[in-house]
Chain A
């Protein structure tokens, strides 16, 4: 029996929490059932508005101080949880140390969305068609997750587990993402229908490493000489699996030619 959409557009009821510190946040996430973290809200609030997400609790982390820094560490650049995409876009540090990230963040939606959306939120959201998870993967970066149980580092290769699913536990907060310095030969290319749309397919080159997005349930590493090998992309209104594979080859050629 076909399940129709309900056609509702207003958020369903939820309990709202606005912790003032990271410890308060860990305590909330550790004790609440069915809670979602609200950072930028550019991905979560549309889901709330469509009632596609109906969490019992919203934990708004925007009031936490000292969580919005970009700084150099371990030869790369660290981006904390409340750094907005716009902040990454405007950062001279990022432009100097990791120009690939600088280029990639400019492809995320539109500036108005980037004013609120957070880089760490994008990683936690794990949309397979998003640019930044693929950049993290191509560079071999990692994220830091914290909870009442302690802290752990999750490398990019382990972070994205499935469509909109990450390895984060329900009680963990993604507090920081770390990107290595991007190699000299780095580039990102994508094909989308309109400016700022999610990509039909995309390719990220970091030196000789290649990561693809939009063509699998997570971003994937691929062999630049045979990028479509093993890929089984899905089809949707704007791209069949064959068209995606075709674009993968085109985009791989593009990033490896410049």
Chain B
């Protein structure tokens, strides 16, 4: 194998078609499909007294209108993606509501028509008689439980979980100093540029269902559809084509449309498609980020944390289709890169009459980081110590790995940090940050963080060398812009000694590879990257065996380089990989092309059958990677900001990132991930929030009012890398997808607090929020 590609800044193979407008996004697919739209509840909580679709069905151009009673699965609750013993009161919605709706946007009817315009005209004609019920909005209101979201869920608590390391009560009592904080996060949304979309076709003659879905987990959708429609899995194909951003909410099992569209295709005998519009996206695609934390910390006079208690509530929304992964991750990541000898965390997952929540980039880690960093800042303020010095005194040291935190991780294992050098990250961040700029109302923020990456259970890959010499590889995991096709081509190209441009990678297509989990939790590079290496490595070994036979050499003396299998150090004694592919198939004489070249290498015939027992034809292999535990990436962000004391406008003067994701496959891609993550972090810290009114109406369901940052709001950032390889996978890599977003809120909160002299305990902020905090400080001076 070569090491030519691993670590190189290879430009992307995906770019050409995307730049030419020849991408293949789900809504791009027509093929005579009918179009559709969903009728959604305008009320956050209501009983449905009746639904009348007569007028809608009668509109010219309308092909069908379905309500729950029309569906064979109409009374089936949709599954919970990740059940958990602590999720004692998990609830999911049905495909179409018929009795009660519990959030604005919940689907009530499905309209199929010649085009979307007519479908929406018909949707206007669907008459639903709603009887509004009391609305529960915000997790705090939910916890007060004056009204219930689900009649059979006491106290609105879907799940409760308590974990403790050491004895927090005793340690707090003995601690020389104590401090309490209340920290609050407003809801936010991932908001990828491409909304969700589904296209389906049923072929009666082939008894085959084909679905294109802008999803982060086609293999799961395929499995679910097969079960639900009573089809063998081999008769269901699910493909995630080009997907315009995922960031988390495109994983579900299922969104109602993912069942309704295939159902309609099967019923109507024509392809059917559904594409959400932006307004729908805001109410019907999962949200995240709502949490409220009550923290108590005990510390000594040196600023060392002795005990930490965190009691938090998590805003689940109206249903829990994803389980309780989000609060579990938050609970696990609060200690972060610090030693917390006594740690107690309890969370309650609370129902509210709002859109359900599921992971959005960061997935609970940003909250955890914010909690710990605000706590350390509070300690520093209480003792009059330098904030960075307090961090140094609490950091886990490089000789303490593997480090057991003592709480549970999202994969059910204990949290164990495998490797890292946190003091070096802080040191490097400070170097990059440099001296403080001159001027008033300037503040500094710094936050190291850890990121659990590469959660299992597994991913797989198939690699094959074609008789043309080109290589095709496939994996079940899909991509939403992370350059998978390039990055895995790099790994395969190294194993097989070919050029990256000779490797074509397919991902997220169950026709090409049918086993997999999905793209989330910063796991793709570790999981699929290592699976690619395994599969390609197996192909390389087989190639050597075949070539060895024909070259009359020892396989151990062979290497793959320059597109050939050759004797090490002897470039003229080799066989082109294309010829080896021909030789790998005893049927070779049926092919043209490379056969002539191959015949010159034909070995003497050997005894036994042409295809020896246990062997398979072809130069291909399938490999899997399954980790023993998560690989823990880490980093440190730091920034200088200026806040205008009159307008409360935020200006980020400098923003630096030091990042450790183990060995880098493609630094250019990793930097792109970090830059994108930081931008989302800035958006989530100062611009974006989902503002519900007391009736559960989303007040800002459009891009005009949900403020995603433009280029003018995002400063340039500087990035540096440190590589501490992970011992948990052969490639030594750690995940990188979420790193950019995790500590941004903490960094900006700390910096703004210093710049303006007001206490920051919530996210997101805004000029209005800072104005109000400043006025409070004037009227209620801090002691």
A positions within 8 Å CB-CB of B: 1-13, 50-51, 191, 193-198, 200, 237-240, 243, 246-247, 250
> Which residues from chain A contact B43 at a C-beta distance below 8 Å?
2, 4
Evaluate whether A5 and B42 lie within 8 angstroms (CB atoms) in the complex, with A50-B279, A194-B707, A243-B768 already known.
yes
Q: Is B105 an interface residue (CB 8 A)?
A: yes
* Count class of interface residues, chain B: 35 or more
Q: Is B233 an interface residue (CB 8 A)?
A: no
Most buried by B among A7, A51, A191, A194: A7
* Contact B768–A239 (Cβ < 8 Å): yes
B279 in complex: contacting residue of A9, A198, A237, A239, CB < 8 Å = A9
> Which residues from chain A contact B120 at a C-beta distance below 8 Å?
8-10, 51
Interface pairs (22), CB distance under 8 Å: A2-B43, A4-B42, A4-B43, A4-B104, A5-B279, A5-B697, A5-B701, A6-B124, A7-B105, A8-B123, A8-B124, A8-B277, A9-B120, A9-B278, A11-B117, A191-B647, A193-B687, A194-B709, A195-B712, A195-B713, A200-B767, A238-B766
- Bound-state CA distance A166–B389 (Å) is 61
Q: Is B283 an interface residue (CB 8 A)?
A: yes
A238 in complex: contacting residue of B646, B695, B713, B768, CB < 8 Å = B768
* Contact A194–B697 (Cβ < 8 Å): no
Evaluate whether A196 and B132 lie within 8 angstroms (CB atoms) in the complex, with A7-B40, A246-B771 already known.
no
> Which residues from chain A contact B695 at a C-beta distance below 8 Å?
2
Q: Is B10 an interface residue (CB 8 A)?
A: no
Residue of B with least CB distance to A2: B695
Contact mask for chain B residues 680-710; partner A; CB cutoff 8 A; 1 contact, 0 none: 0000000100010001010111101101011
Contact mask for chain B residues 254-293; partner A; CB cutoff 8 A; 1 contact, 0 none: 0000000000000000000000011110010000000000
Distance from A103 Cβ to chain B, minimum over Cβ atoms (Å) = 18
Evaluate whether A237 and B121 lie within 8 angstroms (CB atoms) in the complex, with A193-B707, A195-B712, A246-B771 already known.
no
* Contact A7–B697 (Cβ < 8 Å): no
* Contact A191–B697 (Cβ < 8 Å): no
Q: How many interface contacts (CB-CB < 8 Å) are there between A and B?
A: 88
* Contact B42–A10 (Cβ < 8 Å): no
Residue of B with least CB distance to A201: B647
- Bound-state CA distance A13–B279 (Å) is 20
* Contact A196–B700 (Cβ < 8 Å): no
* Contact B42–A6 (Cβ < 8 Å): yes
Distance from A235 Cβ to chain B, minimum over Cβ atoms (Å) = 9
Distance from B291 Cβ to chain A, minimum over Cβ atoms (Å) = 21
Evaluate whether A7 and B280 lie within 8 angstroms (CB atoms) in the complex, with A193-B766, A237-B699, A243-B768 already known.
yes
Distance from A228 Cβ to chain B, minimum over Cβ atoms (Å) = 15
* Contact B710–A250 (Cβ < 8 Å): no
> Which residues from chain B contact A5 at a C-beta distance below 8 Å?
42, 279, 697, 701
Q: Pick the 5 closest A-B CB pairs, nearest first.
A: A4-B42, A195-B712, A9-B277, A2-B695, A250-B646
- Bound-state CA distance A193–B770 (Å) is 13
* Contact A194–B712 (Cβ < 8 Å): yes
Q: Is B177 an interface residue (CB 8 A)?
A: no
- Bound-state CA distance A21–B767 (Å) is 48
* Contact A4–B697 (Cβ < 8 Å): yes
Residue of B with least CB distance to A240: B768
> Which residues from chain A contact B278 at a C-beta distance below 8 Å?
9
Q: Is B392 an interface residue (CB 8 A)?
A: no
> Which residues from chain A contact B699 at a C-beta distance below 8 Å?
237
* Contact B713–A12 (Cβ < 8 Å): no
Q: Is B116 an interface residue (CB 8 A)?
A: yes
Given contacts A10-B116, A240-B772, 7 further A-B contacts (CB under 8 A): A5-B42, A5-B279, A9-B279, A191-B647, A194-B713, A238-B707, A243-B767
Within 8 A of A (CB), among B221-271: none
* Contact A237–B116 (Cβ < 8 Å): no
- Bound-state CA distance A49–B697 (Å) is 20
Distance from B117 Cβ to chain A, minimum over Cβ atoms (Å) = 5
- Bound-state CA distance A2–B696 (Å) is 10
Q: Is B649 an interface residue (CB 8 A)?
A: yes
* Contact B768–A1 (Cβ < 8 Å): no
> Which residues from chain B contact A195 at a C-beta distance below 8 Å?
710, 712-713
Distance from A190 Cβ to chain B, minimum over Cβ atoms (Å) = 10
Most buried by B among A8, A194, A196, A239: A8
Residue of A with least CB distance to B645: A250
Distance from A46 Cβ to chain B, minimum over Cβ atoms (Å) = 8
Evaluate whether A194 and B687 lie within 8 angstroms (CB atoms) in the complex, with A4-B42, A50-B279, A237-B700 already known.
yes
> Which residues from chain B contact A50 at a C-beta distance below 8 Å?
279, 702
> Which residues from chain B contact A193 at a C-beta distance below 8 Å?
687, 707, 766-767
Distance from A189 Cβ to chain B, minimum over Cβ atoms (Å) = 10
* Contact B687–A1 (Cβ < 8 Å): no
> Which residues from chain A contact B709 at a C-beta distance below 8 Å?
194
* Contact A1–B132 (Cβ < 8 Å): yes
- Bound-state CA distance A51–B772 (Å) is 36
Distance from B16 Cβ to chain A, minimum over Cβ atoms (Å) = 25
> Which residues from chain A contact B768 at a C-beta distance below 8 Å?
238-240, 243
Evaluate whether A250 and B42 lie within 8 angstroms (CB atoms) in the complex, with A7-B105, A10-B116, A10-B117 already known.
no
Distance from A247 Cβ to chain B, minimum over Cβ atoms (Å) = 7
* Contact A247–B279 (Cβ < 8 Å): no
* Contact B121–A12 (Cβ < 8 Å): yes
- Bound-state CA distance A1–B697 (Å) is 12
Residue of B with least CB distance to A9: B277
Residue of B with least CB distance to A193: B707
- Bound-state CA distance A4–B547 (Å) is 70
> Which residues from chain A contact B280 at a C-beta distance below 8 Å?
7, 9
> Which residues from chain B contact A7 at a C-beta distance below 8 Å?
40, 42, 105, 277, 279-280, 283, 701
> Which residues from chain A contact B705 at a C-beta distance below 8 Å?
237
> Which residues from chain A contact B277 at a C-beta distance below 8 Å?
7-10
> Which residues from chain A contact B697 at a C-beta distance below 8 Å?
2, 4-5
Most buried by B among A9, A13, A194, A239: A9
* Contact A191–B767 (Cβ < 8 Å): yes
Distance from B770 Cβ to chain A, minimum over Cβ atoms (Å) = 10
Most buried by A among B40, B647, B704, B713: B647
> Which residues from chain B contact A3 at a C-beta distance below 8 Å?
42
* Contact B279–A196 (Cβ < 8 Å): no
> Which residues from chain B contact A8 at a C-beta distance below 8 Å?
120, 123-124, 277, 279
Within 8 A of A (CB), among B317-335: none
- Bound-state CA distance A3–B696 (Å) is 11
* Contact B279–A2 (Cβ < 8 Å): no
> Which residues from chain B contact A239 at a C-beta distance below 8 Å?
768
Distance from A81 Cβ to chain B, minimum over Cβ atoms (Å) = 25
- Bound-state CA distance A194–B132 (Å) is 37
- Bound-state CA distance A197–B712 (Å) is 12
Residue of B with least CB distance to A8: B120
Within 8 A of A (CB), among B87-140: 104-105, 116-117, 120-121, 123-124, 132
- Bound-state CA distance A250–B646 (Å) is 7
Residue of A with least CB distance to B694: A2
- Bound-state CA distance A93–B768 (Å) is 39
- Bound-state CA distance A197–B117 (Å) is 29
Distance from B132 Cβ to chain A, minimum over Cβ atoms (Å) = 6
Residue of B with least CB distance to A6: B42
> Which residues from chain A contact B702 at a C-beta distance below 8 Å?
50
Distance from A195 Cβ to chain B, minimum over Cβ atoms (Å) = 4
> Which residues from chain A contact B117 at a C-beta distance below 8 Å?
10-11
Distance from A63 Cβ to chain B, minimum over Cβ atoms (Å) = 24
Contact mask for chain B residues 632-667; partner A; CB cutoff 8 A; 1 contact, 0 none: 000000000000001101000000000000000000
- Bound-state CA distance A8–B177 (Å) is 56
- Bound-state CA distance A237–B687 (Å) is 11
Distance from A110 Cβ to chain B, minimum over Cβ atoms (Å) = 8
- Bound-state CA distance A237–B701 (Å) is 12
Evaluate whether A2 and B647 lie within 8 angstroms (CB atoms) in the complex, with A7-B283, A195-B710, A195-B713 already known.
no
Within 8 A of A (CB), among B196-235: none
* Contact A194–B104 (Cβ < 8 Å): no
- Bound-state CA distance A8–B42 (Å) is 11
> Which residues from chain B contact A237 at a C-beta distance below 8 Å?
691, 699-700, 705
- Bound-state CA distance A7–B766 (Å) is 27
